[in-house]
Amino acid sequence: MSVHHDEATTTADPRRWLILAVIGVAQLMVVLDLTVMNLALPSAQRALKFSAEDRQWVVTAYALSFGGLLLFCGRLADLIGRKTTFLAGLAGFAAASAVGGAAVDFSMLVTARACQGVFGALLAPSALSLLTTTFRDPKERAKAFGVYGAVAAAGGGLGLLIGGALTSSLSWRWCMYINVLFAAVAIIGGGLLVGRQPKTPGGRLDVPGVVLVSGGMLCLVYGFANAASHSWGTPSTWVLLVAGGLLLASFAGWQSRAAHPLLPPRVVLDRNRAGAYLTVLISGAATFGVFLFLVYYMQVTLGYSAVRSGVAMLPLVACSGVMANVGNVKLLPRIGPRPMVVGGMLLNAGGMVWLTRIGVDSGYASALLGPLMVTGAGMGLIFGMVAATGTYGVAPRDAGVASASINTGQQLGGSIGTALLNTIAAGASSDYLAGRVHGRPSPALLQAAAVHSYTTVFWWCAGFFALGAVVGGVLLRRGPLVRAQAQAQASAGAGTERPMLVDAAP
C-alpha cells in the first residue's frame, strides 16, 4: 500500500488543484441550471407570452435530453477522451445558453433548453470522471471529492439565490447568459490545464444499448413529467412509463450479452457503487420536492421576493458545503459510506418532520432556519460520499459511465419526485378544501389548504429519506472503502492488490 501511495504522490499532476477549480466551475454551472430557471419562468412566460400549459416544457425539455443521454455521453467520454467531451460539452452548453437568453419566442427557448440538456449530459460525467482520474493520492482525492460534493449539494439552493437576484435586478435572460461566463472560464482553464486523456483501447460503442437505455430514460422522464403536468390517470402517462420500464429491462438483459456493453455489469454489481446510485436516486426524489415546495411556501404564502427566498436558503447551502467537506475528508476514510448515508438520510428525515410545523404566518427564524440547517447538513453528508463511492474502484476505462450513472440516478430521482410530490400536493389541497368549502373558498382558506399540501409533501419526503436510510444501511458495506473493496475482491476469489492500485493510481 505504501508503495502505491508513494508512486501516486510522485506522479501527481502539479496542476491538479487548479483542475479541481475548473471542474468545480463546470459542475456548478450544470447544477445551477437545474433550479435557476424555476425562478425565471414567470418572467420568461410574460415576456414571450406562452401559456401555463407550455411552461412545463421549459423544464421538461432540459430534463428529457439530459436524463436520456447521460449514459451514452458517459461512455462516449471513455471512448473518445474525457478532455474532448468536457470542452465540447462546455462550448455547446454556452452556445445553447446564449441562444436561450436571446430567445424571441417559446419554440426558440425550448429548443435551446433541449440543447442545454444534450451538452449538459456530455459535460457532467466528463467533469466527474476527470476528477476521478486526476487525483491519485487517497487523501487528496478525499479533499477533491469533498469540494465536488459541496458544489453538488449546495448548487441547487445557490441556483435559487442567483436566479432570484438575476431575475429581480436584471432580467430572466441573464439566468441563461450567466452560463456563458461560467463556461468561458472553464473552457480556458480546461484547455490550458487538463492534460491529454487516454481513450478506452479497442472500445466500441454499444449502439443497441444506446438505443435501449436512451429510449427507456426518455420514456420514463417524459412519463413522470406528463404525470406532474396532467395526471396519473392519463393513458399516455402509463404507456410511457410501461414502455420505459420494458426498454430498461431489455437494456439490462442486453448488457450481460453485449461484446462492448454501454454499462458494463462490473460497474453496477459492486454493492457500494450500487448503493451510491440508489442513494442518489432516492435522495434526488425528495430533494427536488424540498426545493420546489419550500420556494412555493416562501413566495406564495409568506410573500417573499425571489431574492429574499434565495437568501433564505443560504443556511442550507452553507451547511451542505461544510458537511460535504467534513464528510469526505474526515469521515469517509475512517468510517466508510454506510454511516454517512444512514446519518445523512436520518438528518434529512428529521428536517422534513420539523418542516411540517410551518403555518400560514410562520416566522423564518422559528419555523425555517433550524430545518434548513439540519437538512443542509444531511444533504452534505450524502452528496459528499456519493461521488467518491459511486466511482471508487472502477477501472479508468469505466470512469465516464460510472460518473454518468450517478447523474442518471439524480435526474431520474428528480423526475420521479417532482411528478409524485406534485400529485400528492394537489390531492392534499383538494381534500382539505372538500370538507370546508361552502361556496367560493376565501383567500385565507386557500392559503391554509396550500400550507396543508406543503406539510403533506414534507411528511412524504421524510418517508423517502427514511427509506434511503434503510436501503443504504442494508446495501452499503461496513467499514472504509479500501477495506470493503478488498473484502469484496477476496470473497470473489481475487487478491486485494488490484483495488489498492486502482485507488492509488487510477
pLDDT in tens, the chain (506 residues): 333 443 344 466 778 888 888 988 888 888 777 677 766 777 788 888 877 667 777 877 887 788 778 888 888 887 888 888 899 999 999 999 999 999 998 899 999 999 998 999 898 888 888 887 788 777 777 778 778 777 776 676 677 777 778 877 788 888 889 899 989 999 999 888 887 766 666 567 788 888 888 888 888 878 877 776 677 778 888 898 899 889 989 988 888 888 788 788 888 888 888 888 888 889 888 887 677 788 778 888 888 877 787 788 888 888 888 888 888 788 888 888 899 999 999 999 999 999 999 988 888 898 899 999 999 899 888 877 887 888 788 777 777 778 788 878 877 787 778 778 888 888 888 888 887 767 677 788 888 888 999 999 999 999 999 999 999 899 888 878 765 454 444 444 443 333 333 332 23
SS3 for 263? Answer: coil
Residue 273 grid coordinates: 457503487
> What pLDDT sits at residue 499?
35
Report whether 45 contacts 55 (CB < 8 A). Answer: yes
How much is the pTM?
Answer: 0.79
Q: CA separation (Å) from 27 to 19, 186, 227, 295, 392?
A: 12, 10, 29, 23, 19
Question: What pLDDT does residue 108 have?
Answer: 93
**Are 31 and 156 spatial neighbours (Cβ–Cβ below 8 Å)?**
yes
CB 26 within 8 A of CB 186: yes
Exposed/middle/buried for 467, CB within 10 Å: 0-12, 13-18, 19+?
middle
pLDDT at residue 52, as a whole number: 62
User: In sequence order, which ranges of 49-135 are alpha helices (DSSP H)?
Assistant: 52-80, 82-101, 106-134
Domain covering 12-196+262-504 in this structure, CATH number: 1.20.1250.20
Report the Cα 2 to chain-centroid distance in Å: 35
List the chain domain ranges. Answer: 12-196+262-504, 206-261
